A and B are shown apart, each in its own frame.
Chain A
Amino acid sequence: KKCTTDDVEPMVFVLPLVNVLREDERKQEFSRESLLSGAPEHTEDSWQVPRLVK
């Protein structure tokens, strides 16, 4: 059976939460070293992938 939705607004979130904002705040929770530590391959300061531009 078809569900008629012509006059129904889309519902993205199930609860009436809108514009959940906070003040911009600069912080560094994790060091570059720790963020790189999980990568399969990395240099001292970057993730490493095969060369893209030949």
Chain B
Amino acid sequence: MSNYITEIDQKCEIAVDDTILIKDVECTAGSRILGGFVPLFDAEAVERIKKAGYGIKGKTNVGEFGLDIIGETSYYGEAQENGNLIGAAADEVKNRKVKAALCVDLNGAPRRAAAVSGQTFIKPTYGTVSRYGVIPCACSGEQIGVMSDSSENTKKFLTIIAGRDDKDGTSLKNDSYDYESKTELSEMNICLIKELLDAADEKVAARIRSVVNFLEKSGAKTEYISVPEVRYAQAAWQILLAAETCNNISRYDGVKFGYRTPDYKDIDELYIKSRTEGLGILSKETLIYGSDVLSKGRYDVCYDKALRVRRVVMDKMKDVFGKYDAVLIPAGSTFEYKKYPLDKAFENVYKESLFTAVSSITGMPAIVSCGVQLVADHLNESKLFEIASKLDLSEVEK
């Protein structure tokens, strides 16, 4: 199947995830419930890409609302390579069909896609790229990032889309960002989190070890540390993600736009059947879980607790970045994601989010390159680009 929900212009070189709005082009977020929804404006990031002289090739398929592991819950079909899930945007970049893709990182899907396809993806610091025109889900953590074939190209396109936007209330004040490195790789201290290494399979662990050897040879210092808080981050992020998604998805009711069931006798049936037929099982489970953690009697022990845990994780990571320039961790448990029965999606996504939750819940930047993930302190993308620019898979695997 095609990687695109909608192809706009075959000659153009930028792909845009179908969770990002393009004026007059259908936007589904991988969901039946948004089928036929045609936006009235461009997302800010899309506008900036166009202003910089690039054209949009089309809208790449995503898992429903970007909630899943690697695109497997899309109503419109998923991208696979040799029986493994790969992610539509990553597939386009890998096969050099586009120079870069704009992808929304809500729960790590583009990071996992970059890792399995050997491409580079950066999820920048929260607030540095406008979310105006992104189909909202977990607003306090989601970010537009850039997927490309190299750290250089990823940096180039991130520079284009990053910067203050008055239309996004969570946008930081800087009009632009300088991602050029001020610290050489040879001067860096990089740590690895034991708890995350232990949770990955042997192929991923072997790649991490190869990268460590390469970094050491390049003069960087590496050290293994224990951060038990990563488990807290995983649990708290699932609660926050579900709560925020539940609020945001409630707007899809079959009235104002998108899908409406063809057969209903009154308003209640219109709502119930439109949502029952329009939403996939992972979204429904997320909605139910989100409603639960926000409900009276559960709010304090779930949602409020998760907000406090977010601060605990943030404080811990700030401590870590007081000593280290970056953290090297797996992007996922494996390089080979197979299709699975979707009634297991909620559980499977939760397990996989262990590797991506720290960056999601803290808004700290993360880059995936050579199949591994590096996280840095807020606004330290330049360090991530410096490390990624030196990582060369053929050198790493020597």
Contacts and interface: CB of A to CB of B under 8 A. Distances in A.
30 contacts: A3-B312, A5-B311, A8-B312, A11-B308, A11-B314, A13-B170, A14-B140, A14-B141, A14-B310, A14-B314, A14-B362, A14-B363, A14-B378, A15-B126, A15-B170, A15-B172, A15-B378, A17-B127, A20-B170, A34-B40, A38-B36, A38-B256, A38-B257, A40-B255, A40-B258, A41-B260, A47-B256, A49-B270, A50-B265, A50-B270
Contacts of A41: 260
A40 B304 CA distance: 38
Q: Please indicate which of the listed interface residues B141, B264, B311, B362 has the most CB atoms of chain A within 10 Å of its own CB.
A: B311
Contacts of A11: 307-308, 310-311, 314
Given A8-B311, A15-B363, A20 B37 contact: no
B178 interface: no
Contacts of B298: none
Contacts of B312: 3, 5, 8
A3 B363 contact: no
> Which of under 10, 10 to 19, 20 to 34, or 35 or more describes the interface residues of B?
35 or more
A29 to B, nearest CB: 8
Contacts of B229: 3
Main secondary structure of the interface of B (DSSP, over half): loop
A50 B310 contact: no
A35 B311 contact: no
A1 B227 CA distance: 13
B267 interface: yes
B77 interface: no
B255 A47 contact: yes
A29 B39 CA distance: 13
Contacts of B310: 10-11, 14
Interface in A1-54: 1, 3, 5, 8-15, 17, 20, 22, 29-30, 34-35, 37-41, 47, 49-50, 52
